[in-house]
Structure formats: C-alpha cells, structure tokens
Chains A and B, each alone.
Chain A
Amino acid sequence: MLTPHAAVDRRHDLSQPLEALSPDETLKASSRQLRGTIATGLLDRITGAVPGTGPKLLKFHGVYQQDDRDLRDERRRQKLEPAYMFMIRVRLPGGVCTPAQWLKLDELARAHGRETLRITTRQTIQFHWVLKHHLRATIQGLHDVLLDTIAACGDDTRGVMCSVNPDVSPLHAEIYDWAKRASEHATWKSRAYHEIWYGDERVASSEPEEPFYGRSYMPRKFKIGFVLPPSNDIDIYAQDLGFIAIEEDGRLVGFNVVIGGGMGRTDSAPHTYPRLASPIGYVPVDRVMPVIDAVMSVQRDFGDRADRAHARFKYTIDDKGLDWIVGEIEARLGQSFAPARLFHFTSNADAVGWVHGRDGHDHLTLFIENGRVVNGETAIMDGLRALARVHTGTFRLTPNQNLIVSGVTPEARPMIDAIVREHGLLALNDRSGLRLNAMACVALPTCGLAMAESERYLPSLLTKLEASLARHGLERQPITIRMSGCPNGCSRPYIAEIALTGRALGKYNLYLGGGAHGERLNRMYLENAGEPAILSALDGLFARYAVEHLPGERIGDFAVRAGYVTPVTEGRHFND
C-alpha cells in the first residue's frame, strides 16, 4: 500500500506478517488479548512455574516469574526445578499511596512476600518471593484497596512517573492528577486481568477489547513521565515520552515534550545504546492525552518488531530521523508543537528530611537504602506500618527509591516526629552525600537478568568508597552513583555521575561523567573491573576532584573536564 511515508523502511514493523517478526509478536497476537494459558498454568501442581508462554504474558499483568538464583545450581543437582517465585509490581502512578493502601501492602508482604517490600526506581512497590499459589490472593488483596498491577511490566505503557516536589504541593497535585489520568488512559483494557485474577465471568462483546493496542500491543515497553522543574527527580530524559511542566505565576499552563529516552543496552551489541530524550516542543496543558495517543501510535506502528533489542522508541527515532518522527506525530495530532519554553533543572536527587510545603503542610523524606523496606538493623517495615496507622496524608514513593510522609498537618507533626524517632527512621537520613544519592537495582538472587550482584553489594562498596571520600574531605559532597546487575539499566545508571553495570559475578563496567541533573550520559571508563580496580580508580578521581574542582562543579562535570572520559553528545555514540 502506498502511503505518504512510502519512503520509510517498514520491513520490521507492524505492517509485516507475524512470521517475519520476532516470536513475541506471534505470542501476543495469539494470546486472546493477554489471556493465553495463564489461568490453567496457575492450577498446574507439578511445577511452581506458570508453564509455556505464561511467563511472557504474565508480565503484562505486572507479574514476573523468577527463581531464587542462589539455589539454582544446588536444586538442579537435587533434581528439583528452580525455586520459582514471582515478583509482583503494583501500578501506582506518580508513586502516591494512601495509608490504608500502605497497610494492605504491608500485610500482603508479611503474608506472601517474605516480609519485605521494595520501592522501585519507577516509584512503585514490588513484592518478591511470592509463590504461585499465593498470586491470586495477593492480587485480590491489592484489589481490596483499589490497587492493581495492570501493565506494570510488558510491551505496554509502564507505570507513569511524576515528580514528588513536596515543597510545591499544589502544583504537584496537578501534575500527579495528569500522571494518574495518563496511566488510566494508556494502560491496556482487556478484561483478561479481571477474569484471571478476580475470577470475573467473561463478558461477550462486539466491541474490540483493545481499541488502541489491537492484538499486538507495543513493540516493547513504553515509559511516560511528568516532571516539575527545577527538580529532575524522575530523570525525564530517560523516558520514552516525557512532559516537563511549565509554570506561569504558580499555575500549570502546559508542557515541554521530550521523546525517545531509554537506558537499556546489551554488552557487545553496538547497535544498542542508552539515549537521552529529545525535546520536540511545547503543548498547552489540555493536549496531554492527544499527545500521548499520537506519540504512542507512531511507535506502535513504526517500532521494530523483529529485533527486541532494537525495539524501543529511541531506535525508531534514530532510524527514521527525529524530524520525520515529529512530523508524523504532528500529523496525527493535527497540530504543530510550539517552540519549547524555558525551564531549569538543578538536580535529580531527593532532599531528605522535613520541608514545609506551600500548602502549609509538612513533608518528611526518608532515605530508604535501595528502596528495601525490611525489618533489618532498623525495623523500617514496622516503623512505616506504625506511621501508616496514624498518618492522615499520603505516602509518596520517590524515583530515587525513597519515601515521603506527605501532607502532615501542624497538629499531627509531633506525633509523626515521635514515631519516626522511636523507630529509628530519622537516623536513616544521616548518611554520606554519596549514599544518599546512590541507587541499585534488585539483581541477585531474584532477577533473571542479573549477571552480578547489585542491591546486596552496593551498600558494602559504598562503605569502602566513603572511607576514600573521608580521606579527601568529600563525605557531604552529593555524588550520584548507580549500580545495575546487568546492562539493561533499571537503576538508570547511564545518567549517573558514577555508574557500575554488572558483567559477571564481581565484575563491573565503570562509567564516569554523567550529568548531575540527568542532562548528560556517562561513558565507560573501565571494562570488566573487579573491586580493587574500581576502588583505586575512584580514589584517584576523588583525590583530584578534591583539589582541582571549580566552585560548584559536580564530580560528573569534573570527570569530563579533567579528561577521564570524553562527553557523550548523543546516545548512538555511547559505544564509540
């Protein structure tokens, strides 16, 4: 068929027959709108897994099949299947949840999730260690407090992010509302979820179940976020589609739109790379939903469905050209983007501790190392439950895996203060500038992709780095450091000032030179390095930075200026 875009290469997109595309496309198309054989797989008593195509389809339902990798080899010898379990990711747009919802999350984690919760890097909660026969109970429990897990994973729009900005609460409320509506608007609509997890009857209808997604959904995950400058806490440039709030006289008037960010890459595959989103213009506030539809439909129709490692929107943009993509979006939108407005980012970090908001309420940001809510040295889980029992505001989960006790009235403040002190939660904030700005993905033993430790290892590595920082008087210097157990980059490593991505047990690539507010990718400095090499390289960097840095200069900027690495100007040159 001749279209106005006849010149565009369509050999790998939705226009092709399924046989010409990746097997996942056939799987989606034949899944009866994400039903597949999940329901029968849940009943299979011979395995703790969901057999067949179950695991891939489950992702669309926010459920990841995993196994305890610490036991994998041992169990193989024992002729036992891997210790299968599931990660359940909640859909929590903007990371806002009520105390009642928190209490339910806490209760479910204690019952089915090995007494731990994780705050993710996309502002939501993950349960780990859930066994197959507890999946339905967990998801139904979430339903009791109006939470679900729809599209928390899979080839669809993932959890929608939104800045936390506790100090500018009224504007936060406004963009949070947009994030929530965007999530409702863009997630898939099939009744499969209700049938499988809640046991709802299948309702016959002549209407298509997925008016937007059709049978094939997206080529790959699609991430949307809303940011409220000057904070870039959500790392807007890492989103497939980002909305940067533009404020006039304290009112939200519209958004600058950025497209094509993404972190994931594959080692030894130079055609994969992280990419920062490109700004494409400004739209007034009422155009958010049409922009989402237009941008997502362009990726839906033109994204690469043959090679999943090359299927994210960032590659579609670089392959077709940004101008062409913007033209296509504008054609679908029926209007052009206005020139981008001015804005200013200062940081992608969280400020821990109490702040007083414009709404007259107080907000307390608590540092939760790697987002791990557990009763460890500090009984974080018990402490947060105690807060949830009395708190009348909300909780906000931050993109840096921290938690905000938000909307504390002046009357409630003494009580909240007492509880956080009693449970030792406030002491969590008393950490080095490096640790407060550190993130790690989950990795071993639960994540199937991890090649190296991350969450279990980073804290001890930081302790060693802190000793080095102390020698150079840099304990309080904010430094973003992010670790991922594999190159896919769940902790958004490629925009950190210092990053480590796992290659093998105990071996990491070391990256330097990312921008402190998410504006510049870093570049690889050491490949496949062990701890001694990493410590020695960073000690050298700290030593020079301590004496040579310019006033206010961040260590990522310094690493570039001092020639440790050459700056990455565009994602596609990341591997150069």
Chain B
Amino acid sequence: MTQAVDLPSAPTTIRPDILTSRQWNDLQALATSLSAAQALWVSGYLFALGGVSRGAVLDEPSPGIASATAAPVRTLTILYGSETGNSAALARTLADRAGALGLPASAIDMAEYMPRRLKDADDVLLITSTHGDGDPPQPAASFFEFLEGPKAPRLSDLRYAVLALGDSSYEHFCEAGKRLDRRLEALGAARLHERIDCDVDFDAPASSWTDAVLATLASSASPTSVAAGRDGRVAVAPAAVVVDRQHPLTATVVGNLVLTGRGSTKETRHVELSFPEGGLTFTPGDALGVVVRNDPQVVDQLIECLALSGDTPVTLAKRTTTLADALTSDYEIATVTPRFIDVWTEVTGADDLRRLTTTEGAAERAALIRTHHVIDLVERYRAPGISAETLLKALRPLTRRLYSIASSLSAVPDEVHLTVSVVRYTLHGRERTGVASGHLADRCATGETLPVYVQANPHFRLPHDDVPILMIGAGTGVAPYRAFLQEREARGAAGRSWLVFGERHFRTDFLYQVEWQDLLKRGVLTRMDVAFSRDAADKVYVQHRLVEQARAVFDWLEDGAHVYVCGDATRMAPDVDEALVTIVECAGGRDRDAAVEYVHTLQQSHRYQRDVY
C-alpha cells in the first residue's frame, strides 16, 4: 500500500529546489495526513491541474514576495441578534459606515448565519439585545446554542467586538451580549474593542462604540498585521490511517437529539458525530457502519441468570478478555438463532427444545425465534454449571449496523450525521431496546465515542447537477435526501428537486421539518409533498401523494428525472413501485405492460435507485 506515495518520486526528507520551504512544509504536512487512496487521488489531481493554473504560483520570483502578495485581506462580518429591530438597524448603519471606510461588510441576522462559518471569519462585530431572563433574542437562539455548545470551534484567528443592548431595569442586564463576549474570549478570539452595554437609550453609546471599533479596524487593515494570524493551520492534520470495516475510526458524538416531538408514537433521533479532519470520506448516498455494544444491563442479566462470573477470562479469535466484555462487544445476545437452539438443546436436554430441532418442529422453532430473546430462553431452560465457552459457542458474533448518512461533507466537513429510529418495545414483561438504536439512543451522549466506518453505496448516487431528482422516503428513509440536498446546495447544483416524505403525524413526526422549509425557501428544494398516515381517518401514504400528482411526476420522468426510494422495504417500496407503474399508465397513456417496461427501463438506466431495508 506504499504505492501511492511512490508515484512522484521516492519519499524523501530533502526539499527539492523547485519548492519554497513553506510549500515543502505544507506538502509534507499534507502527505502525512493522507491515506494511501487519498494520496493516489491527490497525485492525480495535482497532475491534472498541470502547469496552466498553477503557473502563476510557480512563476513567483521569490518566496518572500509570494507570501506578501498572497496575503489575504481580512474579511469583516457584522452579525446581529434582534427581536424588535434595534440591533438590526444598528448593524445596518455599522455596515454602511464600514463600507464607506473601504471595509465592505453586510449586516447578517444571527438567525440566517451558519455559526460554524465563524471558523473561517477574520473580524466579526456582534450586536445583540437581551430578552427575558438574560436570554438572547429568540431568532438568535440557535446561534447562541451552537457558540456556547461543545461544537464551537477554536477561534484563535478571530478578532471581534460586542455591542450589547439591554434594559437596566432587568436583573440580567445585557446578559446576551456579555455571554457572547465571554464565550468568544474563551474560544481564543481576540477582542478588538471593549464591549459596551447600552441601556434603553442606546443611541449615544452605540454610536461611540461604532466609532471606536471602526477606527481600530481601519488602523489595523495593513497587510503585515493581516498575514500574521494565518500561519500554521495546515500542520494540525492527524497522522494517516486506513479506515474500513476492520479498522473503524473513533468518532465523537457531538449531538444527539430526539427529532420526534412530544407525544409522538415514535422516537427518531438525529445523531451527529465528529471525526478528525479528513478521517472519513463519503459521498451522499453512502452508509455509515457503526460498531455498537450491547446494553450492559442485558449482559449482567444474562451472566447472573447463568450464575457465571463476568470476570471469567475468555479467549477470542484475536484477543483474550473477560466474559462480560466479550458479551458486551463481540456477541449478539438478544436475537435467538437456530444455532443457539441447537446448543441450548444439547446443554439443557430440554425436550421442548429438542422437539423443535426436528423437521416437523421447524415452524414452531421459527415462531420461537421471532418471539423470544436469548435471555427469555436462558431463564426458561436453565443450564446449571454451563461454562463461558459453551455459552459463547451458542452465540453468533455481534454484527455491525449500517445507517444511511444524513449529511454531506461539502456542507458539514468533519462530521457525519445519522437519522436513527429507536426500537423500543415490551416483550414477556420486560422492556427491550434495539441493540444499535438503543446504543445510539441511551449510551451515546455528547462526548461519548463510537467506532465507525464508511460503507459505500454506489447504487444510490446523485446524478449530474442539472438533472432533476425525485426523492421518495418514509420515516428515516429521508436521511440520504438530507445529504443529497446539502450536497446540491454546496455545489450550487441547478437541477430541480422534489421530495415526497411520509410519516405518521404532522405535528410530531415531520423529521427535519424546519430544514426542508428553509431549503424550499432558498430554492434548493423545488417542491415537497408530505403524507401523514395517522392524521385523518383515511390513511395517506407517499404513494398516494405521487398518484395524486401523476401528471407532474410523469413530466419529471420525461424530463429525465432520477427517482430515489429509501426506507421500508416490505410495504413502502413495492407500493411506490406500483404507484410509478400506475402513473406511467395514467399520465403517460401506456398500457400496463408498456408501463412496467417503462419503469424497468428507468431501473436499467440507473435512473430509479432504491435504498430499502
């Protein structure tokens, strides 16, 4: 696997003359951070760039001059949090005055600003009012939450100043502004000017703050001071690692929230994982493999029920560990398998079980498997004196779980998001939880780590940017579409998009509702239809919405749209398939056979892709 780095020349520690020392350092830092596959890709990328676009850089007469002329001008960002409009008005005045001084900036509402962009900002001026008990303005709540939360990036290159508006008759006067000021300082940002706290008569203090801040910015807008903050950013990349099924990467949970609203019959979660820069690469449509562990309580129950000791050493294929650890991390301890029944029949000699191992007992055995967990059988058919080895022999290895990735690296670098439907039910009087979803729901709080890897899904891919897409999904099947649309927005793709989403209740189960609304507003999503099956007496599903709009669906197909179906494989996918045939029949004026053929051709030409489970 060293082939990739061998390509340009043998690895060397000596700087070739053609590169400046700075370029050399950067290149070395990059090279050590790349996996073999990445290195190969980068070499091709640089080769393809050729001399044309790089010419200007190569022609630089000397490193010194190159870095001086390439020094970026610092950008100015003005952010406001406003509920009644005062902060907004001040921010606009500030922007106008900055522009007049040759410092172009526009005033941006914190509600509209992606706070992670602060990482790439240079100078930021913030104006916010305070409401209620020291709270930020309602529209800025998400901005504050991000900035004050664990995901806030280090901002050591940032310079900032805060203007706080408030009302001194409140106990927590100007608290929102104070919070911003404190937090930005804690994140390593440098204060351009002291914060000013304004009372209800804010005009005079606000204007003196504006004067002072603009004076500071104008005086520091020289290239030398500007270049200083930008050095050394590349060097923090981690060492190269290969990430795959066998070598998962440890990701950190940075967000884990319930998407379903109060009163929902479901628990669907949004899980955000972060990983070191460049640690994972994936394309919208891919899945994330998650290495989960069993519920320690279930492990304890099992060990206790069998009168074993959790500390018993056991030898596995690759390591020696304790029984408790093996049951937690290596074996499936919930689902009953035929192998388990076989071994358990041996161990217990139970006639009930033996009967099931015969051909006539097959149906009954299948039913038993469906309706029982390992712990239920272990309790019913006692196995006194069983050894740890025998127990493990009865169990199958714990499998990894795959989740469709719900984010795009282009929009959210260094993070991967999942949409997880949590399985909870009661069986034989005991609360049960799905192994993977339970792990993600109950044992993956913010800060916990989770081994993950990418599972490519080449059969679920976005088409070219200008091709229309029709995305159909129910429940968590909507996850890859979030990645699709993030990607399309980041790429500025021009193709139309139509999302058809189904769930049970509008009020509580409209997963990512606000995000879809924003995408619609921004025109990234062209059209959206929803089907909530339990809001009215007659159950409406995604296929009904499609058929209702047969004409439009058929027009999109004729326009070359790619169709995606994601979610439930047993009911939704065949129902949607049937709906598509019906649509081609009705709106396309085809007979049944021709319509089936039409849909079949879509599939053949990869314009009809499914990710169902």
A interface residues, Cβ below 8 angstroms from B: 45-48, 71-81, 83, 131, 133, 267-268, 451, 503-507, 527-528
With A45-B530, A79-B512 known as contacts, the answer to whether A71 contacts B261 (CB < 8 A) is yes
Q: Cα distance A80–B506 when bound, in Å?
A: 10
Among B171, B261, B270, the residue within 8 A (CB) of A83 is B261
A80 in contact with B170 (CB, 8 Å): no
Q: Residue B261 contacts which of A45, A80, A451 (CB distance < 8 angstroms)?
A: A80
Do residues B171 and A528 form an inter-chain contact, with CB atoms below 8 A?
A: yes
Q: Which of B145, B258, B262, B506 contacts A71, CB < 8 Å? A: B262
CB distance from B3 to the nearest CB of A (A): 45
Given contacts A528-B169, A528-B170, contact A48 B259 (CB under 8 A): no
Q: Is the CB of B170 within 8 A of A504?
A: yes
Assess whether B258 is in contact with A78, with CB atoms less than 8 Å apart.
Answer: yes
Asked if B360 is at the interface of the complex by the 8 Å CB criterion, the answer is no
Give the contacts of B46-68 with A (CB-CB under 8 A).
none
- The docked-state distance in angstroms from the alpha carbon of A133 to that of B540 is 15
* A81 touching B517, Cβ below 8 Å: yes
17 further interface pairs, Cβ-Cβ under 8 Å (given A46-B520, A74-B262, A80-B510): A45-B529, A46-B528, A76-B142, A77-B145, A78-B259, A78-B260, A79-B511, A79-B515, A80-B259, A80-B513, A83-B507, A267-B167, A268-B200, A451-B132, A503-B169, A504-B133, A504-B170
Alpha-carbon distance between A45 and B167 when the two chains are bound, in angstroms: 40
> Nearest Cβ in chain A — how far from B507, in angstroms?
7
16 contacts between A and B (CB under 8 A): A45-B506, A45-B529, A46-B530, A73-B141, A77-B145, A77-B257, A78-B259, A80-B513, A80-B514, A81-B510, A131-B507, A268-B167, A504-B133, A507-B170, A527-B169, A528-B169
Docked-complex contact B169 and A75, CB < 8 angstroms: no
Given known pairs A504-B132, A504-B133, the reply for A79 and B169 (CB within 8 Å) is: no
Nearest to B132 among chain A residues (CB) is A504
Within the assembled complex, what's the spacing in Å between the Cα atoms of A81 and B262? 13
Q: Is B275 an interface residue (CB 8 A)?
A: no
CB of B381 closer than 8 Å to a CB of A: no
Please give the distance in Å from B552's CB to the nearest CB on chain A. 15
Residues of the A chain whose Cβ atoms lie less than 8 Å from the Cβ of B510: 80-81
- Name the 3 nearest CB pairs between A and B, nearest first: A268-B200, A504-B132, A528-B169
Q: How far is the CB of A182 from chain B (nearest CB, A)?
A: 35
Q: Which B residues are CB-close (under 8 A) to A528?
A: 169-171
Binding site for A on B (CB under 8 A): 131-133, 138, 141-142, 145, 167, 169-171, 200, 257-262, 270, 506-508, 510-517, 520, 528-530, 535
Q: Smallest distance from the beta carbon of B109 to chain A beta carbons, Å?
A: 15
| CB <8 Å contact, A505 and B529 | no
Question: Nearest Cβ distance between residue A512 and chain B, in whole angstroms?
Answer: 18
Cα–Cα distance between A78 and B419 once the two chains are bound (Å): 12
Contact B167 A505 (CB under 8 A): no
Give chain B residues whose Cβ lies under 8 Å from the Cβ of A45.
506, 529-530
Given the complex of chains A and B, what is the CA–CA distance between A48 and B510 in angstroms? 11
Which chain B residues border A504 with CB–CB below 8 Å? 131-133, 170
Kindly list chain A residues whose C-beta atoms are within 8 Å of the C-beta of B142: 76
Chain A nearest CB from B35 CB (Å) reads 33
Q: How far in angstroms is the closest Cβ of chain A from B253?
A: 16
Q: How far is the CB of B240 from chain A (nearest CB, A)?
A: 35
Which of B132, B200, B261 contacts A505 (CB under 8 A)?
B132
User: A308–B295 Cα gap in the complex (Å)?
Assistant: 60
How many whole Å from A67's CB to the nearest CB in chain B? 11
Return chain B residues, CB-CB under 8 Å to A451: 132
CB-based contact A505/B133 at 8 Å: yes
Q: Which residues of A contact B171 (CB under 8 A)?
A: 507, 528
Give the most central of B138, B169, B170: most A CB within 10 Å.
B169
| Cα–Cα distance between A45 and B132 once the two chains are bound (Å) | 33
Q: How far is the CB of B401 from chain A (nearest CB, A)?
A: 23
Q: Which A residues lie within 8 Å of B169 (CB)?
A: 503, 527-528
> For A73, what are the chain B residues with a Cβ–Cβ distance below 8 Å?
141
A78 to B506, CA, bound (A): 14
CA distance A267 to B166 in the complex (A): 12
- Closest B residue to A51 using CB positions: B517
Residue of B nearest to A74 (CB): B262
- Which A residues lie within 8 Å of B257 (CB)? 77-78
Within the assembled complex, what's the spacing in Å between the Cα atoms of A71 and B167? 26
A48/B507 in contact, CB under 8 A: yes
With A74-B262, A80-B510, A528-B171 known to touch, is A46 a contact of B517 (CB < 8 Å)? yes
In the complex, A78→B510 CA distance in Å?
10
Residue of B nearest to A506 (CB): B133
Contacts of A505 in B (CB 8 A): 132-133
Q: For A47, what are the chain B residues with a Cβ–Cβ distance below 8 Å?
A: 517
Residues of A within 8 A of B261 (CB): 71, 74-75, 78, 80, 83
> In the complex, which residues of chain A have a beta carbon less than 8 angstroms from the beta carbon of B535?
133
How far is it, in angstroms, between the C-alpha of A72 and the C-alpha of B262 when the chains are bound?
11
Chain A residues near B506 (CB-CB < 8 A): 45, 48
Given A45-B530, A527-B169, decide whether A76 and B133 contact each other with a Cβ distance below 8 A: no
Q: Write out the residue numbers on chain A whose beta carbons fall within 8 Å of the beta carbon of B170.
A: 503-504, 507, 528
Minimal Cβ-Cβ distance residue in A for B535: A133
Q: Separation in Å of the B511 CB from the closest CB of chain A?
A: 8
Complexed CA–CA distance, A505 and B135 (Å): 11
Chain A contacts of B270 at CB under 8 A? 79
Expressed in whole angstroms, the minimum distance between the Cβ of B287 and any Cβ of chain A is 21
Question: What residues of A have a CB within 8 angstroms of the CB of B138 in the complex?
Answer: 72
Q: Which residues of A contact B141 (CB under 8 A)?
A: 73, 76
A85 to B585, CA, bound (A): 41
In the complex, the answer to whether A81 meets B133 with C-beta atoms within 8 Å is no
Residues of A within 8 A of B258 (CB): 78
Partner of B513, one of A71, A72, A79, A131: A79
Q: Which residues of A contact B515 (CB under 8 A)?
A: 79
Q: Least Cβ distance of B580 to chain A in Å?
A: 22
A76 to B261, CA, bound (A): 10
Name the residue on A nearest B172 (C-beta): A504
CB-CB < 8 A to A48: which residues of B? Answer: 506-507
Contacts of B529 in A (CB 8 A): 45
CB pair B200 A81 closer than 8 Å: no
Bound complex: CA A71 to CA B264 (Å): 14
On chain A, the residues within 8 Å of B167 by CB distance are 267-268
Please, how many angstroms separate the alpha-carbon atoms of A76 and B530 in the complex? 20
Question: Cα distance A72–B258 when bound, in Å?
Answer: 15
A212 to chain B, nearest CB (A): 33
State A74–B530 Cα separation when bound (angstroms).
23
CB contacts (< 8 Å) of A71 on chain B: these are 261-262
Contacts of B259 in A (CB 8 A): 78-80
In the complex the two chains form, what is the Cα distance from A79 to B482 in whole Å? 13
User: A279 → chain B, closest Cβ, in Å?
Assistant: 35
Question: Shortest CB–CB separation between residue A150 and chain B, in angstroms?
Answer: 29
Q: Which residue of A lies closest to B530 (CB)?
A: A45
CB distance from A106 to the nearest CB of B (A): 23
Give the distance in Å from the alpha carbon of A505 to the alpha carbon of B141 in the complex.
Answer: 17
A81: chain B residues at CB < 8 Å are: 510, 513-514, 517
Distance in Å: Cβ of B514 to nearest Cβ of chain A: 5
Complex CA gap A395/B44 in Å reads 85
Q: Complex formed: what's the CA distance from A131 to B508 in Å? A: 13
- Please indicate the chain B residues that have their CB under 8 angstroms from the CB of A76 in the complex: 141-142, 514
The CB with the most chain B CB atoms within 10 A, among A45, A268, A505, is that of: A45
CB of A284 to closest CB in B, whole Å:
47
Closest to B525 in A: A46
Query: Could you tell me the distance in whole angstroms from the C-beta of B538 to the nearest C-beta in chain A?
Result: 14
A483 to B: closest C-beta gap in Å: 17
Closest chain B residue, CB of each to CB of A527: B169
Whole-angstrom CA separation of A71 from B507 in the bound complex: 12
A22 to chain B, nearest CB (A): 12
Provide the bound-state CA to CA distance between A528 and B134, in Å: 13
* Chain A residue at minimal CB-CB distance from B262: A71
B163 to chain A, nearest CB (A): 18
B169 to chain A, nearest CB (A): 5
Complex Cα gap A71–B529 (Å): 25
In the complex, A346→B490 CA distance in Å? 71
Residues of chain B with a CB closer than 8 A to A79's CB: 259, 270, 511-515
